């Protein structure tokens, strides 16, 4: 497992789980538990950062004997939780680990003129996100002229948000370009 970058993977998983946990807590653990036919305590265990840390530590450090039970969140349940809560930021965090951009495409058919409105709205968001990513870098360099790890992570995150915003803008432009 040396090829896995456990420090980076752990940081990304904690970020994704924190976002997922927040979405589920805000939506309502009971509702998700009912939909998945699980107890609330099982849901709490699956979204526990402490259990995630135990699981990651065991995977990284076990020899030949792995514990029989490790609480973990299954992919199907994760997808259902994201769908039910409507909060997709956990995907953005996971996509960034894989060096990918993650964005939501406009849903359904645009009515006449609405694609143009979406394009304008998304271009404003893209402009704001790009400016934020540049400002984070300028702030990092302003002090000592060096970008440290924390500043680089923040810059990377802001760049990811800018890429996602530009992709939304592209989706609306593509819709118009296809004449739909």
- Give per-residue pLDDT as tens, 47-58: 888 888 887 777
pTM for this prediction = 0.51
User: Is 127's pLDDT higher than 90?
Assistant: yes
- Could you give the C-alpha distances from 90 to 63, 100, 122, 124, in angstroms and in order? 31, 13, 21, 24
pLDDT tens digits, 45-87: 888 888 888 877 777 777 666 666 665 667 667 877 878 888 8
pLDDT tier at 111, thresholds 50, 70, 90: confident
């Amino acid at each position: 497992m040396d090829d896995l970058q456990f420090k980076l993977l752990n940081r990304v998983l904690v970020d994704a789980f924190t976002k997922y946990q927040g979405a589920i807590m805000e939506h309502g653990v009971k509702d998700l538990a009912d939909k998945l036919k699980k107890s609330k305590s099982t849901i709490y265990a699956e979204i526990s950062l402490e259990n995630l840390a135990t699981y990651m530590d065991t995977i990284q450090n076990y020899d030949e004997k792995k514990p029989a039970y490790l609480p973990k969140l299954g992919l199907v349940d994760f997808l259902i939780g994201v769908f039910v809560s409507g909060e997709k930021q956990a995907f953005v965090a996971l996509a960034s680990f894989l060096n990918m951009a993650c964005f939501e495409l406009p849903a359904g058919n645009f009515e006449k003129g609405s694609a143009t409105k979406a394009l304008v709205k998304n271009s404003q968001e893209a402009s704001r996100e790009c400016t934020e990513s540049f400002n984070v870098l300028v702030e990092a360099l302003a002090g000592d002229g060096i970008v440290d790890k924390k500043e680089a992570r923040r810059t990377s995150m802001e760049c990811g948000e800018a890429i996602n915003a530009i992709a939304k803008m592209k989706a609306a432009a593509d819709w118009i370009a296809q004449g739909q």
